[in-house]
């Protein structure tokens, strides 16, 4: 099997999986219990929070655990909107955000919130002038992704932060950093924002853990109410095993960053070169993207035909993002880049992890050549 679908999800790091098992079967106390068993587990949970906050260069008290990035995103967008309704009713985002952001905003639009969708250029980079012109006194939030999940483009979020604060220093900035963490040198000292969302299963942590960063002093209401866990910002007993595994997985991902930047980028660029030779059009801007991602299409071949052909050979890639591919094979991102309906059905995404190697890339190219021959391409 060759697994090239790591932007959908990643295998859990083996050491992290061992730790998770330990906290599920041995150290299973509720961290909110007052007995010593609970206190021990609470200390370990807080140690994980501290480790994650150090990697992200923020305070432990600014980190909250949720069940996934979609929950972090919903909490931030809805919670900021409700807590700041006296300040305004306008939110700005881009046309290439993940459906977790887009569909949450569509829901808010039905409830009277004004949403502006900023355009992107052919490479998927946001139009900064359009963004600057859109920020007004009543703009409560700008929500942007750091790296795109389908084509990997890195957005100029540092410039965006400065621009927002210059135009209206009361406008909050949320970054969806799901596809950036573990793939580029990333911390919130460098990528400044007021809120951020992350997902453990994208960096070899388990499914079921999301991270939410909320800068000290910002105003946001919780989405899930109940007990006082996570300082009342996210009620419900924490997924302790998952969170402790996430902390270890993140540490391992950071240790592999050098490999990501060198070997994995070289493998990605090798694939891009060969695919181009075979007639593919490359969508990913190779010099401004996360190093593991390659979006491409063959004109007049549907992406699902290639994905299914490769799947029969035990090679796993994807069409659009996993969350959208069951509903439509058309890439909303490609449409935003200016491609027509036919080409937008052609997207194929390869996404590598630190577990992949060049030999797998060579096998991939050979298999794809066979498929194209079969299709008389």
Residues ≥6 apart with Cβ < 8 Å to 72: 66, 197, 198, 199, 210, 211, 212
Q: Which residue is associated with the tokens 């699902």?
A: 304
- Check residue 265 for interaction with ligand PLP (CB under 6 A): no
Which runs of E-coded beta strand occur in the chain? 2-3, 63-66, 90-94, 114-118, 139-145, 172-176, 195-199, 210-214, 281-282, 293-297, 315-316, 348-351
Which CB atom, from 171 or from 179, has the smaller least distance to ligand PLP?
Answer: 179
Which CB atom, from 99 or from 168, has the smaller least distance to ligand PLP?
Answer: 99
Residue of 51, 2, 34 lying closest to 245 (CA atoms): 51
- Which residue of 6, 53, 70, 75 would you call a contact of ligand PLP, by CB under 6 A? 70
- Check residue 98 for interaction with ligand PLP (CB under 6 A): yes
- Check residue 353 for interaction with ligand PLP (CB under 6 A): no
Tell which positions 30-49 bind ligand PLP, by CB under 6 A.
Answer: none
User: Which of 68-76, 159-167, 215-223, 309-317 is the region at the interface with ligand PLP (rule: CB under 6 A)?
Assistant: 68-76
Q: Please state, as a whole number, how many other Cβ atoms lie within 10 Å of the Cβ of residue 82.
A: 14
Residue of 45, 11, 25, 64 lying closest to 233 (CA atoms): 64
Q: How far apart are CA 320 and CA 338, in angstroms?
A: 16
Give the shortest CB-176-to-ligand PLP separation in angstroms: 5
Tell which positions 168-197 bind ligand PLP, by CB under 6 A.
Answer: 176, 178-179
Give the shortest CB-212-to-ligand PLP separation in angstroms: 11
C-alpha Rg value of the chain to the nearest Å: 21
Indicate the DSSP class of residue 289. Answer: B
Give the shortest CB-208-to-ligand PLP separation in angstroms: 9
For 53, 267, 285, 286, the CA distances from 274, given in Å and listed in that order, are 40, 11, 16, 14
Tell which positions 146-165 bind ligand PLP, by CB under 6 A.
Answer: 149
Residues ≥6 apart with Cβ < 8 Å to 169: none
Which CB atom, from 48 or from 333, has the smaller least distance to ligand PLP?
Answer: 333
Give the shortest CB-199-to-ligand PLP separation in angstroms: 3
- Check residue 210 for interaction with ligand PLP (CB under 6 A): yes
- Check residue 336 for interaction with ligand PLP (CB under 6 A): no
* Active site positions, annotated: 323
Q: Residue 249 burial (CB < 10 Å; 0-12/13-18/19+)? A: buried
Residues ≥6 apart with Cβ < 8 Å to 308: none
What separation, in Å, do the N-terminal and C-terminal C-alpha atoms of the chain show?
A: 25
Instruction: Considering only the C-alpha atoms of the chain, give the largest distance between any 2 of them, rounded to a whole number of Å.
Output: 69
- Which residue of 10, 75, 199, 353 would you call a contact of ligand PLP, by CB under 6 A? 199
For 18, 54, 197, 229, 243, the CA distances from 44, given in Å and listed in that order, are 15, 15, 22, 15, 10
- Check residue 321 for interaction with ligand PLP (CB under 6 A): yes
- Which residue of 48, 76, 145, 249 would you call a contact of ligand PLP, by CB under 6 A? 145
- Check residue 343 for interaction with ligand PLP (CB under 6 A): no
- Check residue 96 for interaction with ligand PLP (CB under 6 A): no
- Which residue of 12, 45, 100, 324 would you call a contact of ligand PLP, by CB under 6 A? 100
- Check residue 211 for interaction with ligand PLP (CB under 6 A): no
- Check residue 68 for interaction with ligand PLP (CB under 6 A): yes
- Check residue 318 for interaction with ligand PLP (CB under 6 A): no
Which CB atom, from 210 or from 346, has the smaller least distance to ligand PLP?
Answer: 210
List strands edge to edge, sheet with 139-145. Answer: 63-66, 210-214, 195-199, 172-176, 139-145, 90-94, 114-118
- Check residue 206 for interaction with ligand PLP (CB under 6 A): no
- Check residue 222 for interaction with ligand PLP (CB under 6 A): no
How many chain residues bind ligand PLP (CB under 6 A)? 14
Q: Interface with ligand PLP by CB under 6 A: which residues?
A: 68-70, 98, 100, 145, 149, 176, 178-179, 199, 210, 321, 323
């Amino acid at each position: 099997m060759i697994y090239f679908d790591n932007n959908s999800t990643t295998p859990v790091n083996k050491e992290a999986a061992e730790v998770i098992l330990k906290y599920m079967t041995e150290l299973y106390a509720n961290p909110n219990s007052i007995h010593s068993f609970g206190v021990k587990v609470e200390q370990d949970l807080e140690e994980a929070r501290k480790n994650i906050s150090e990697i992200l260069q923020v305070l432990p008290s600014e980190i909250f655990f949720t069940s996934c990035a979609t929950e972090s995103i919903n909490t931030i967008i809805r919670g900021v909107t409700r807590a700041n309704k006296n300040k305004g009713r306008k939110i700005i985002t881009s046309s290439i955000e993940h459906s977790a952001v887009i569909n949450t905003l569509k829901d808010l639009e039905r409830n009277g919130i004004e949403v502006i969708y900023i355009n992107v250029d052919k490479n998927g980079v946001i139009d900064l002038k359009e963004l600057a012109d859109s920020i007004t006194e009543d703009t409560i939030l700008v929500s942007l992704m750091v790296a795109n999940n389908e084509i990997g483009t890195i957005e100029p979020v540092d410039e965006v932060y400065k621009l927002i604060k210059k135009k209206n220093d009361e406008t909050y900035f949320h970054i969806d950093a799901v596809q950036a963490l573990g793939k580029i040198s990333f911390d919130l000292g460098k990528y400044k924002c007021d809120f951020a969302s992350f997902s453990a299963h994208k960096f070899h942590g388990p499914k079921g853990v999301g991270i939410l960063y909320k800068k000290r002093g910002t105003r946001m209401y919780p989405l899930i109410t109940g007990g006082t866990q996570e300082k009342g910002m996210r009620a419900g007993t924490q997924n302790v095993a998952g969170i402790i595994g996430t902390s270890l997985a993140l540490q391992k991902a950071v240790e592999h960053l050098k490999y990501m930047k060198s070997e994995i980028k070289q493998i990605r660029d090798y694939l891009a070169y060969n695919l181009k030779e075979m007639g593919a059009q490359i969508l990913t801007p190779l010099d401004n993207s996360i190093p593991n991602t390659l979006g491409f299409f063959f004109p007049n071949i549907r992406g699902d035909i290639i994905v299914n052909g490769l799947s029969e050979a035990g090679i796993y890639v994807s069409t659009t993002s996993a969350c959208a591919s069951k509903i439509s094979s058309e890439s909303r991102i490609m449409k935003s880049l200016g491609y027509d309906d036919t080409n937008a059905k052609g997207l194929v995404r390869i996404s590598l992890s630190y577990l992949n190697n060049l030999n797998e890339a060579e096998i991939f190219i050979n298999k794809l050549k066979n498929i194209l021959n079969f299709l008389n391409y």
